[in-house]
Amino acid sequence: MGELYSHTQTAAHAEALTVAEVRLTPILIADPPLLNTQGVHQPLTPRLIIEVVTADGTVGVGETYGDTKYLELAKPLGEALPGRPVSDLNGLFTVAEQVCGEPGDVSDSVDVGGLRGVQTADKMRLSVISGFEVACLDALGKVLGLPVHALLGGKVRDSVEYSAYLFYRPARHPGADTPRDDWGAALDPAGVVAQARRLADTHGFASFKLKGGVFPPDEEIAAVRALAEAFPGRPLRLDPNGAWSVETSLRVAAELGDVLQYLEDPTSTTARMAEVAARTDVPLATNMCVTTFPEIKDAFTTGAVQVVLSDHHYWGGLRNTRELAAICRTFGVGLSMHSNTHLGISLAAMTQVAATVPNLDYACDSHYPWQTDDVITSRHVFTGGRLTVSDAPGLGVELDRGALKALHQRWLDDDGTMRDRDDAAAMRVAEPDWQTPSVPRW
């Protein structure tokens, strides 16, 4: 009987598991004026929604960066997939290498929004693959009746903890018709604490990360001190995106060592991180100097980082994220999750993979509370700072086609100024003389 069942399944799956169509939909989503060391988030920022449709009509969804260069890479990959098994996730890497080519000139660009160091064709291709991998996993899970976490070996926890992601910000974007919100400005310690309190009250977050590198270090030290006083004992983190020198990093570590869970990318490059790490007991985290597998060896053997903030968009998908986790376990390096601006599909993907990783040592980052737009029918809700791990087939989210259409129309209607995220250009709208600061800034 088992055999018969198995054979019937095989026949049914052979069709269901073949990719019939891939749909790529670039969209523009509203984004608050969040500040970082390079500038400010644009009023609208691009994302790419990927749909992988199998021959039986099952639709899997994925999400990744939507800037023009990423779209250029995604198009040939999408065209290459029909006819291939949706389960062939290892093959995505081979196919992508074959068809994607080089994405224009990447040598002079800084990674969109990631403040991830120098862009390379490899990094961009992996980010594109990640969106396809998630869409394939979603489709595969739906066809098989399994949640994505089961396709990754099963969840080891029923919920995943996230931290509050605090940003310096003005009350609103410049310009008459830019998106607004009611958060108000947060440009000093009191503003940061007020923001933290609202995020904690609304979502239950128990830990706090402040995006720094915006103001001179003493101001940011004061903000973290204010957080420590307002939320005694809560884990705190500060992330200046590599804006500081080694000496400044060490000074901040010394001044905040008693309240920081970790210090995130205080300085740029693995070599400088190693210098800082050698002279402080405060753990250093990164999503800048270790964002690809080839960067691991140097950083881990020099002790440059104590925590890797993984990001499935950077690392090439959920399965690569699990491999990164295995490497971190093996080398005694901590693991948590980084976030860029993203929607509910990526948050579902993050939560599914996070649920399967035994050594998820810290609450994950997510920009999600700052996003008012989404392309799923039912937004994720944090309870006590946690998301419940969905056991529904696939990612457990449903595409809101009306929302997708509207956000795509916004992309179509855009004159090109918002289609490529550029935090420095956005900053120049308010401050015409703004230039991307050179590093170290302080």
Q: Which of 338, 342, 367, 380 is catalytic?
A: 338
Nearest Cα neighbor of 157 from 317, 364, 398, 344 is 364
The nearest distance, CB 323 to its own copies, in angstroms, is 4
User: Between residues 94 and 409, which has the closer beta carbon with respect to its own copies?
Assistant: 94
Please report which helix (H) or strand (E) contains residue 61, including its range.
strand 59-65
- Confirm if 52 and 18 have CB atoms less than 8 A apart: no
Cα(335)–Cα(361) distance, rounded to whole angstroms? 6
User: Between residues 28 and 296, which has the closer beta carbon with respect to its own copies?
Assistant: 296
The nearest distance, CB 421 to its own copies, in angstroms, is 29
Cα(112)–Cα(19) distance, rounded to whole angstroms? 30
The nearest distance, CB 143 to its own copies, in angstroms, is 7
User: Between residues 17 and 227, which has the closer beta carbon with respect to its own copies?
Assistant: 17
Nearest Cα neighbor of 360 from 352, 371, 372 is 352
433 CB contacts (<8 Å, ≥6 apart)? none
Q: What angle do CA 325, 327, 329 make, to 5 degrees?
A: 70
Residue 230 one-letter amino acid:
A
User: Between residues 293 and 434, which has the closer beta carbon with respect to its own copies?
Assistant: 293
The two structure tokens encoding residue 394: 């696939």
Q: Which of 211, 312, 342, 380 is catalytic?
A: 211
Q: Return residues touching its own copies (CB under 8 A).
A: 1-2, 5-7, 9-14, 16-17, 54, 56-59, 85, 87-91, 93-94, 142-146, 150, 152-156, 293-294, 296-297, 301, 319, 322-323, 326-327, 329-332, 356, 358, 393-394
The nearest distance, CB 8 to its own copies, in angstroms, is 8
User: Between residues 129 and 418, which has the closer beta carbon with respect to its own copies?
Assistant: 129
111 CB contacts (<8 Å, ≥6 apart)? 117, 118, 119, 123
DSSP code of 436?
Answer: P
338 catalytic? Reply is yes
How far apart, in Å, do the first and last CA atoms of the chain sit? 70
Q: How far is CA 294 from CA 10, 206, 297, in A?
A: 39, 34, 7
Cα(425)–Cα(423) distance, rounded to whole angstroms? 6
DSSP code of 284?
Answer: E
Residue 91 one-letter amino acid:
G
The nearest distance, CB 13 to its own copies, in angstroms, is 4
The nearest distance, CB 125 to its own copies, in angstroms, is 15
Q: What is the 3-state secondary structure (H, E, C) of 372-396?
A: CCCCECCCCCCECCEEECCCCCECC
User: Between residues 59 and 430, which has the closer beta carbon with respect to its own copies?
Assistant: 59
Hey, how many other C-beta atoms are within 10 angstroms of the C-beta on 281? Answer: 9
Task: Spell out a b/e string for 352-376, using b for 16 or more CB atoms within 10 Å of the CB, else e.
Answer: bbbbbbeebbbbbbbbbbbbebbbb
6 CB contacts (<8 Å, ≥6 apart)? none
The nearest distance, CB 434 to its own copies, in angstroms, is 38
Cα(116)–Cα(139) distance, rounded to whole angstroms? 30
User: Between residues 301 and 383, which has the closer beta carbon with respect to its own copies?
Assistant: 301
The nearest distance, CB 4 to its own copies, in angstroms, is 9
* Helices and strands, number each (H, E), in the chain: 15, 14
User: Between residues 16 and 288, which has the closer beta carbon with respect to its own copies?
Assistant: 16
What residues are annotated to the active site? Answer: 211, 338
